[in-house]
Structure 1
Amino acid sequence: MIPLRACITKYPSACLRKRCVSDSKSRLLHSRAKKYGRRRLVAQSIGNQVSDKPEKSPVETSGPTPSSRGGLLSRFSRTRDVEGGTQHFQSNGVRDAAITALAGVAVLFFGGVAYISWYKKKVLDKIELAFAPGYDPALELATHGAKTSSRTHGIDDLDLDSDGPWTQHLRRKEQDILDRIINGEETGHYYVLLGPKGVGKTTMIFDAMQPIQADGVSVCDAHPDLEVFRLRLGKALNYEFNEDSQTGLFQRRDPREGGPALDIERAMNKLEKVALRCAKKRGRPFVLIFNNIHYLHNDEEGRNMLLQLQQHAESWAASGILTVVFGSDDFWPYQALRKTSNRMQVLCIYDLSSTEAHQASLRMRPSHPTTSTTHSRERTSSVIELIGGRLSYLNKTMRSKDPLEMAKHLLEVEKAWLVSQIGLIPDCDDDVMDEQKWSSCSWLLLREFVKRRIEQERHQLARIEAGELSAEDAAGLPLPSIPYWQCRQIMTRADYMEDLDRANIISIDIHHEVRPDSELILHAARQVVEEEGFDELLDGVRARVDEIESLHRTRELTFKDLKPGDRLRLAVDKGGALLLEEGK
């Protein structure tokens, strides 16, 4: 047997050649493993090393030489180094991916928190900007209309659509208290402006806002649709109800999911924060005006919205940070607010008196160059006798070339409208019974107003004849009034009062005094009532309504299987005595 050392000595070139090839392959695969980190390269390296081993001869089975033993150890150590480097590389990749994901989540979270905080502060700043002096949407529209109307000179004789500044040259007695409210000098209360349509409530508000450039004041018009009212409130407060935010990226709920009532509550809460923040540096409260709140429906939804606004008005008035002003043409909002009011003050706005109407007409007439200046005081008195002291009617008549002709035209239009609303229909069908019931009850009340006006004129004429009153002072009788409870008795239906008030046929004040809505309504009703045969027509319609109602209460009994000569016996037994006798 040849010793191992002798074998290596005998074949040195072959052993060195195989060893060099194996070492070069190992170094190449090791560099590839470091570059790509693939496990299959390690497996290939091991396989190549095993395949490159020389076949052992019988002489070589006795054991490896020290040199060959060292070569094998070095090759296996290099193989373990390649595997460890790959595992180390893979563990570093997983750790880097996890760190990157956590960093992204952290940036997203803290970025979202920072954005929401910034957005909330921006919302409060925008609401505060809505009360800053300068631009106000409602005031800008009102002043722009006044400027354009002052430059208009083409006015026809019967121009009903021309609108101008009603109180441009007139300051009413209620303007002083309204100026103090708008300026923020009256604290601790919230206010309701109550009066019929056209008396000048909104114009007085704008007149109070103009000197201060709407500093601390915002105006919002009500609407029957709460979604529209929500948008109008957002416009007045410069608040978008979170619709302009990007919080949808953070899976926030839809801001409109709760409905308009919840959105309005959010807006009120934001406004409260702004009012608290600005109360100290301003020294006076904000003023928020809800105009035409009678446009809200008098149902559960509308009354709930009115109560929601009133609750905030009560708390803000108690703290002195914000004053709320409600404006209404109808009486029902006052009734709804009165139930839960503690700090509410009511300002009733009436028509101008005869003297005030004369002064207003003389001031309004020369301000329009298209009107004729040759008009006498008697013609002006005739105009005021027809239209009264309603500012909207004074504006239309005094802007025309012939005020008296304009007043007569307005009376014809009002009479035609009144008859179309509550006209009587003789021998009406049962389909219009409810309408004729309402119309007949309405004419009962209007006829009573006409009777009281005739009584006023008779009493005034008696005083003039007795020398107690001069003819000049006798001009301009006030509208006749009837207490609310007595109107219920006259009409026999209490629920019709609200419908007449909503139709602007009557007006009700806080003293529960019922009056015709205007002098035009009273004159139109008087012309209808004084027509020949009106009382008979009214009584005939009421009789027809009673007849139809009695027919509806009548029941028809039909008997079958009766032969000629058969008899029926009917008895009215209210106490049940006949049933007891039959039972016995």
Structure 2
Amino acid sequence: MVVRCLKCRVLRIELAANGVQGNGDSSVNAASGSNPHYGSSSQNDPQSLWTKMLEAAATAFASILVLGTGFATGGYMYHRFYKWLVLHKMERAFQPGDPVLELAAIGKEVPNSIAPCKEQEGDEHWILRDEQAKIDAIVDGTDRGHYHLLIGEKGTGKSSMLLDAMKKVEGEGISMFEAHADLEIFRIRLGRALNFEFHEDYIGSYFSERGPRDSTALLDIERAFNKLEKIALLRRKTVGKPLVLIVNAFHLLRDDEDGRDLIELIQQRAEQWAASNLVTVVFNSDDYWVYERLKVLATRMEVTAIADLPKSQAMSALAKYRQKYFQEAPPSETLAEVYSRVGGRLTFLNRVAKSKDMLRTCDDIIDTERRWFLNQCWILGAEMDDDVMDQQKYASAAMVLAHALVNAEKNLPPRPPDDDGSHNIPKIPLHIARQIMTRADFIQQYDHINLFAITSTAHVRADSVPMQRAFRRICAEPGFEEHLEATLQRINDIESLGRTREIVAKDLVLGGKYNFITKDGASWGEKVTEVSLEEKAEEAEEKKVDEGDGNEES
């Protein structure tokens, strides 16, 4: 039946279950024949059903194939692009120009290099050290095949020489960063220096990128070194020089398990890179304990000790500085007195050179060092409380060592006639210093807070000339030796009380005695001590009477 809807203009065809009713076409009836369910045979045909299923499966498979190929291609392209981008970014970190140089140049009035010399650019130098040529060769890649440890007291100019060497080559092929005790901060600073973000480089990052804090700091540092090694291989093929990685203030790492693991990790890489001329690693340290840790595994390490300037060099540089910036020519006696008070330490010479009254500034420096030492290690005498026992052990050991250095200064041999007058600070071998203090663990802490210095040859001395003068003043005070002896005696008394145990035998109050008899034990060679109580006769009689009275009552 055909029904036309005038509003919707939709043709609806309704077929009856038994054929076409009404005025249907006779051809339709003829085609249907005697089968009342026309068209159902084609729908129920198994061959037609399988055909439709195969068509649907082929369509689904083609869709999955297209989508999978698209995602796989995209992921692979992302993976390749990520690897290229990481290496490209790290390669840019070693191009000319370094953030460390920019930070060092801000607010810097005079460069740290020597008076009579001038650079090709025309910059005048303040103090040039003899070790500068070696540092230049290390930084510009000429000196290769080793990794280096620069060791010296704070303020001797180690970092300044490294910055000067970097400035000469504009930081090309060099990366420098500051160490830190916390491994996470160390990892971040290393990543910043290498321009590496520590993201995981695997194809899963295409869908979900893993954060940089999902792994340990040591693992991230190892991955950063793997990328650095690839950059170094490319540079060796193109430039022919190794990269230079400078770790400044390496002594700030803690001497614990984590710190030792990090040192071992970096040293293993440094040994491998030095052997293959890939990367030259430079460690800059103020403390001796770093050298002790590195020496265990060191085969290609070179140690460069940075000490104070000699007298002639320090006086010449100081005179030229005063002439340039103050238009004065100080007499040689004044310059010699300045050197005798503060020595050739660059950090002190800088302060003195910029001061109007140089000698007064020298006295201020000495007084500052003296107060620093007293604030850290002053002793409390015989009246000290036992609650400060541990701190006073630390302080008294430092005072004993300072007193030994002052006495050693008095026994120094006379200077030869050709001596230039440079300071000869008394020093004691490290093992003797520990014997004097009767402690082996305190000396590393003294070195860390700049009270005493341990040289690269394992000798202990005052951290600087002003500190040695501070020792001299303290030990020369009236009654110092008696005060030190009273403190040591008080420490011994407190320790003795701690080791003493009081035993009270109540049986001896009435006049009894103990008998100690040593006999042979059950086994051969064994000795057994028997203890028995010997009572007085009166007590024994009273005891028998008491026992007899008890029997009668019973």
Task: Give the TM-score normalised by the residue count of structure 1.
Answer: 0.79
Alpha-carbon deviations, 1:301-325, whole Å to 9, x = none? 1011001000000000000111111
Query: 1:104 maps to which residue?
Result: 67
- The structure 1 residue matched to 2:79, chosen from 89, 108, 116, is 116
Supply the distance in 1 between the matched residues of 2:476 and 2:517 (Cα, whole angstroms).
Answer: 48
Structure-2 change in CA distance of 1:557 and 1:364 (3 Å): same
Query: 1:140 maps to which residue?
Result: 102
- The structure 1 residue matched to 2:344, chosen from 389, 414, 427, is 389
Structure-2 change in CA distance of 1:402 and 1:574 (3 Å): farther
Supply the distance in 1 between the matched residues of 2:365 and 2:516 (Cα, whole angstroms).
Answer: 63
Query: How many percent of aligned residue pairs carry the same amino acid?
Result: 35
Structure-2 change in CA distance of 1:66 and 1:397 (3 Å): closer
Query: 2:186 maps to which residue?
Result: 229
Supply the distance in 2 between the matched residues of 1:564 and 1:119 (Cα, whole angstroms).
Answer: 89
Supply the distance in 2 between the matched residues of 1:367 and 1:109 (Cα, whole angstroms).
Answer: 70
Query: 1:417 maps to which residue?
Result: 372
* 1:125 maps to amino acid: H
Q: Secondary structure at the match of 1:172?
A: coil
Q: Secondary structure at the match of 1:218?
A: strand
Matched-pair contact (CA < 8 Å) for 1:192–1:326:
yes
Matched-pair contact (CA < 8 Å) for 2:197–2:212:
no
Supply the distance in 2 between the matched residues of 1:249 and 1:451 (Cα, whole angstroms).
Answer: 71
1:492 matched to 2:453? The reply is no
- The structure 2 residue matched to 1:433, chosen from 389, 393, 398, is 389
Matched-pair contact (CA < 8 Å) for 2:403–2:471:
yes
Query: 1:29 maps to which residue?
Result: none
Instruction: Give the number of the structure whose residues are more often strand, by fraction.
Output: 2
Q: Secondary structure at the match of 2:18?
A: helix
User: How far is the alpha carbon of 1:351 from its aligned partner?
Assistant: 0.3
* 1:325 maps to amino acid: V
Matched-pair contact (CA < 8 Å) for 2:93–2:175:
yes
Query: 1:11 maps to which residue?
Result: none
Query: 1:50 maps to which residue?
Result: 18
Higher relative contact order (CA 8 A, sep 6+): 1
User: How far is the alpha carbon of 1:144 from its aligned partner?
Assistant: 2.4
User: How far is the alpha carbon of 1:230 from its aligned partner?
Assistant: 0.4
Query: 1:516 maps to which residue?
Result: 462
1:402 matched to 2:357? The reply is yes
Equivalence map 1:69-468=2 (5 Å): 69-72=30-33, 95-133=58-96, 135-146=97-108, 149=109, 165=112, 168-242=125-199, 248-251=205-208, 254-368=211-325, 371=326, 373=328, 375-426=330-381, 427-456=383-412, 459-460=414-415, 468=417
User: How far is the alpha carbon of 1:231 from its aligned partner?
Assistant: 0.6
Alpha-carbon deviations, 1:539-576, whole Å to 9, x = none? 1111111001001101123456x697364638698998
Q: Secondary structure at the match of 2:313?
A: helix
Structure-2 change in CA distance of 1:299 and 1:405 (3 Å): same
Supply the distance in 2 between the matched residues of 1:144 and 1:539 (Cα, whole angstroms).
Answer: 51
* 1:250 maps to amino acid: F
Query: 1:530 maps to which residue?
Result: 476
Structure-2 change in CA distance of 1:114 and 1:329 (3 Å): same
User: How far is the alpha carbon of 1:208 from its aligned partner?
Assistant: 0.7
Supply the distance in 2 between the matched residues of 1:574 and 1:115 (Cα, whole angstroms).
Answer: 88
Query: 2:424 maps to which residue?
Result: 478
Give 5+ residue unaligned stretches, structure 2: 4-9, 115-124, 521-525, 533-554
Instruction: Give the number of the structure whose residues are more often helix, by fraction.
Output: 1
* 1:319 maps to amino acid: S
Q: Secondary structure at the match of 2:323?
A: coil
Supply the distance in 2 between the matched residues of 1:301 and 1:337 (Cα, whole angstroms).
Answer: 15
Supply the distance in 2 between the matched residues of 1:174 and 1:324 (Cα, whole angstroms).
Answer: 18
* 1:455 maps to amino acid: N
* Number of equivalences: 507
Moved more, 335-344 or 93-102: 93-102
Query: 2:453 maps to which residue?
Result: 507
Matched-pair contact (CA < 8 Å) for 1:372–1:401:
no
Alpha-carbon deviations, 1:48-69, whole Å to 9, x = none? 2427559xxxxxxxxxx99954
Alpha-carbon deviations, 1:129-180, whole Å to 9, x = none? 11111x211111112232xx35xxxxxxxxxxxxx74653322111111111
Query: 2:545 maps to which residue?
Result: none
User: How far is the alpha carbon of 1:112 from its aligned partner?
Assistant: 1.1
Q: Secondary structure at the match of 1:507?
A: strand
* 1:415 maps to amino acid: R
Q: Secondary structure at the match of 1:199?
A: coil
Query: 1:548 maps to which residue?
Result: 494
Alpha-carbon deviations, 1:263-315, whole Å to 9, x = none? 00000111011101110111111111111110000111101100100000000
User: How far is the alpha carbon of 1:198 from its aligned partner?
Assistant: 0.4
Give 5+ residue unaligned stretches, structure 1: 1-20, 26-31, 34-40, 55-64, 151-163
Matched-pair contact (CA < 8 Å) for 2:20–2:28:
no
Matched-pair contact (CA < 8 Å) for 1:175–1:204:
yes
Query: 2:529 maps to which residue?
Result: 579
Matched-pair contact (CA < 8 Å) for 1:166–1:200:
no
Alpha-carbon deviations, 1:398-435, whole Å to 9, x = none? 11111111111111111111100110111221221122
Query: 2:551 maps to which residue?
Result: none
Matched-pair contact (CA < 8 Å) for 1:353–1:476:
yes
* 1:233 maps to amino acid: L
Matched-pair contact (CA < 8 Å) for 1:166–1:392:
no
Supply the distance in 2 between the matched residues of 1:364 and 1:357 (Cα, whole angstroms).
Answer: 11
Q: Secondary structure at the match of 1:210?
A: helix
Larger radius of gyration: 1
Supply the distance in 1 between the matched residues of 2:32 and 2:156 (Cα, whole angstroms).
Answer: 114
User: How far is the alpha carbon of 1:507 from its aligned partner?
Assistant: 1.5
Q: Secondary structure at the match of 1:213?
A: coil
* 2:514 maps to amino acid: R
Matched-pair contact (CA < 8 Å) for 2:156–2:347:
yes
Supply the distance in 1 between the matched residues of 2:93 and 2:451 (Cα, whole angstroms).
Answer: 38
Q: C-alpha root-mean-square deviation of aligned residues, in Å?
A: 3.4
Task: Give the TM-score normalised by the residue count of structure 2.
Answer: 0.83
Moved more, 328-337 or 564-573: 564-573
Moved more, 332-341 or 245-254: 245-254
Structure-2 change in CA distance of 1:451 and 1:572 (3 Å): farther
